[in-house]
Amino acid sequence: MGYRSSVAVYLSDKALFMLPEDLQKDWEEYGYEENIWTLDNVKWYDSYPIVHKWEIFLEKVSTELSAEEWDFVRVGEDVGDVDSRTYSKFSAYSTYEIM
């Protein structure tokens, strides 16, 4: 089964214009709404070729566009396992309760 995450990516129209063709297929295949692409229960490991391509693309937009043009968040299964990039569209928090 493996470790799973929930992932969301926001891309402005300007950022979408930069999206490589193979990643456009992902974007369209898995669906998006209001320029936000979401995936649930996915293995988001850089060792997977498509995830690696997404990470390269996100690095590119981070250097070429302002933070308002894109965002990324990944929430893992464990408390505290949150990767959030620009905070322009997404906020993610891990909470816990002491019983």
Average pLDDT on 73-86 reads 87
Residue 35's pLDDT is 94
Burial (0-12, 13-18, 19+ Cβ within 10 Å), 73:
buried
Provide the token pair at 63. 């250097």
Kindly indicate the confidence band of residue 99, based on its pLDDT and cuts at 50, 70 and 90: low
Average pLDDT on 85-96 reads 79
Q: Which residues pair with 5 in a beta bridge?
A: 42, 76
State the pTM of this model. 0.87
